[in-house]
Every structure is written in structure tokens, then in C-alpha cells.
Structure 1
């Protein structure tokens, strides 16, 4: 099987990416028709951080981070590195030194379907990561892989240049072509949620705001003061 490091990829409009980052993973997921989420096993390793960028994808041999080092060279400011392995792995394939190298090239963060280590140092650097595991198990640099090829991370297809949005709620990816439409839909949802938030804060009940009382009745849900003796 051939292995490649692809130097040039298409990237989405930075304004579209920024709008989706502002909307956040949950709202963007809804606006995209509930598509694009990576599985919940990919967890944020810091709190309160949100990023949006273009995917630089990496396919590695498990327990081997050679191709992550190879990927650094083709990264640009505003990218997000998305790393997968060819079979399941929780080894700590990424740590402080690689983060330092990526940060120097303007990379916004890492999404990895494997493990990371040096977590305290990563937080100190302000370099956000989303990973399957935190594991001190070291890796080697010996096996070929590829950079900027389609990969599957936590059940989700990720193509080079895809829009990546990540925050405390998880990680979502979108094709470049869908970005503008989803950003518009996300903005509409945010405006709608703002109006609902004001009404809920004023004391309006969700069952009334969403018109749920007829549905409850239809489903046979009864309101009683006490359970029958």
C-alpha cells in the first residue's frame, strides 16, 4: 500500500469557520441535520476551550507517531491536526514537544483517536487536545503512514480540509461545501434560542413554550395531585 504526505489541500473560508466556532458543537450539529459528530469517546482534556479550523489528517501505525512529526511540516496557521491509527490504540502518541512544534506553526489544536500524555504541560502551553485516552505509554518512530488522506476518527469520516469544530461538548466535522449553509442555519438557531432563553428566564415553562401539553395528553400522561390510593 502506498503512503503519502500531501502538501496542498483546500481550506474553508475563515469567516465561515469562525461563525461555526462561535455557534459551538451542539448548535452546529443541530444546524447540520445532526450529522458530523465524532463519537463521545473523544474527550476534551481541558475545560472552556473552543476551536474551529481546517483538518490536516494523519493516519499512523498504532504506537508509532512518526507520521505526526511528518505532518507538522504541511500545517498552516488555523489548522487542526486530526490523528487516527490503523487499528485501535490508546498509547500516548502526542505530548508537550509535539505541541510546541505545532503551536509554532499556528496550529490551533489536536483531535486524536488515540492517547495523549504530558497533559499538565499541554494545559500550561494552552494547546488544546481532544483524545480517546490519557496514557503515559510511549511510542516509537518506525512505521510509514500518510498525511492528508481521508481517515475515520471515532466513527466519523474526516477528509483533508474539512471544517473541525471542537469544544467542551465534543468534536464535529463538516465538508467545506456545507460550511456556509450550516453557518447560516446555526446563526438562525442562535437567534431563536436567545428569544427562548428570555422567555424561560421570565418563568415560561418549557411545556408551554414548545406546545407540549397536547402531546403529553395524546401520549396518555395524566396530571394528578397524588397517586391513586
Structure 2
């Protein structure tokens, strides 16, 4: 039965969220074993924005945004509202007024597997949103979903309190208890990439920087000059 609001959910500490936000979604996704990435259909409304926040999870009834309004009351500084409908729906669940309310609570943004509207206003306000759809069609009120329960959204399970990182590349979920470990792995990965970048700048290529030649040989790669290739092709 819908209508459950779980209060007092655990949260990822803000200093860990801020540390996570120093890394891109691609780096964090790789650092945690290529796990946690939401489906690529969830895209940013704006560009050039990166946020990390604690997941406040929400399910909403198809075509009804009542539970988003309920969830606003549960939000606080550093939170990211993560919303999914209980059945697919592309309607505009969220606009500038709800964004204003969330900003006043200290929420850092919204990730929604449905539609949003008032896009120009959201951009002007600087309120970050990642959504599956943009739609001017409004929703009704009166049907309930749940707040701060585990949800399935865009191919991933999100628990209340998990860390969620979002940028131009998409959205990735980091389980709350693994944030420290993922931060360490992301730092190591970025340091490794910086060393590789220096080698690329000197003219080295990926085949050597990433020690790919033995792998290519094992896979059976062949190099032929053009004349030999022509002979083989036409013989």
C-alpha cells in the first residue's frame, strides 16, 4: 500500500559528498567496478553542472506529483531528490515552484525518471535537473507514492542515504557505506590518468601507454602494407 514516508533516514556526510563531486561520473563509475550508472536516457536539463547529494528516494503515481511535495518536507542541506513513477510516464512532474521549495530546503538537485517542465526557469534558477523527458503536460494530485524507501530507477537500485553523483555524462549511484572506498579508488584512477595524459602530450599513443600490443597480438591482429593487402584481396 502506497503512502509510506520514512523519516530520519541515514545520510552520506556532506564532506564526503563534496569530495565525491570533485570527480566526474565516468571516473566514479569506473572506480566502483563499472557499477551504479543510471540508464543513458536520464540526461541533464542544463550543461556544465556537477552535483553530489544524498538520495531522498521517491515513488510517484503515474501522472500525479503529490508525493514530490511530500518529499520536500523530508529534504535538507546536501540532499538530491531521486524520483521514479510506479509506471512509465512522460508528464511534467516538476517545475520551477517545486524547485524553489527544494532550494529553500538546501536540496542540491533532482533526478527523475519521468518528465519536467519550466526548463528555462530551472536553468535561470541554477537548479540542476536530470530527467528522462521534458514535457509541458502537468500532473494531477491526490494519489500517493512512498518516500525514503529503496527504489528501482533507470536500471539501478537506490537506497535512501546513498550518494548520487550527476554531471553532463549522466548519473551514478554510490552505496552509502562504500563512499570512502570509492573515493580512494577514484583518486587513484585520476592520478593514473594524469600520468597517462603527460605521456600522451609527449606523443605516445594509447597502444603503448595502456600496454595494448600484447593483447592485440593475442587477439590475432595483422599488419599488411597496402601492396600486399591488394594482392591478397584480388588473388
Measured after TM superposition, the shift of residue 2 of structure 1 is 4.7
Higher alpha-carbon Rg? 2
SS at match of 1:22: coil
Q: What does residue range 128-167 of structure 1 map to in structure 2 within 5 Å?
A: 128-167=128-167
Q: What does residue range 2-13 of structure 1 map to in structure 2 within 5 Å?
A: 2-13=2-13
Q: What does residue range 9-48 of structure 1 map to in structure 2 within 5 Å?
A: 9-48=9-48
Q: Determine the structure 1 residue equivalent to 2:74.
A: 74
Misfit runs of 4+, over 3 Å: none
Task: Report whether the alignment pairs 1:207 with 2:207.
Answer: yes
Q: Give ranges in structure 1 of 5+ residues lacking alignment.
A: none
Q: C-alpha separation between the residues in 1 aligned to 2:116 and 2:7?
A: 25
Q: C-alpha separation between the residues in 1 aligned to 2:195 and 2:68?
A: 45
Measured after TM superposition, the shift of residue 144 of structure 1 is 1.3
Q: C-alpha separation between the residues in 2 aligned to 1:69 and 1:42?
A: 22
Q: C-alpha separation between the residues in 2 aligned to 1:202 and 1:19?
A: 31
Contact map agreement 2:44 2:170 (CA 8 A) in 1? yes
- Residues 77-126 of structure 1: CA distance to partner in whole angstroms, max 9, x if unpaired? 11000011110111110011111111111110000010001111100000
How large is the RMSD of aligned CA atoms in angstroms? Answer: 1.0
Contact map agreement 2:2 2:144 (CA 8 A) in 1? no
Measured after TM superposition, the shift of residue 3 of structure 1 is 2.1
Measured after TM superposition, the shift of residue 218 of structure 1 is 2.2
Q: Give ranges in structure 2 of 5+ residues lacking alignment.
A: none
Q: Determine the structure 1 residue equivalent to 2:230.
A: 228
Measured after TM superposition, the shift of residue 224 of structure 1 is 2.5
Measured after TM superposition, the shift of residue 214 of structure 1 is 2.1
Q: How many pairs align?
A: 229
Using the size of structure 1 for normalisation, the TM-score is 0.97
SS at match of 1:123: helix
Q: Determine the structure 2 residue equivalent to 1:182.
A: 182
Q: C-alpha separation between the residues in 1 aligned to 2:44 and 2:96?
A: 16
SS at match of 1:228: helix
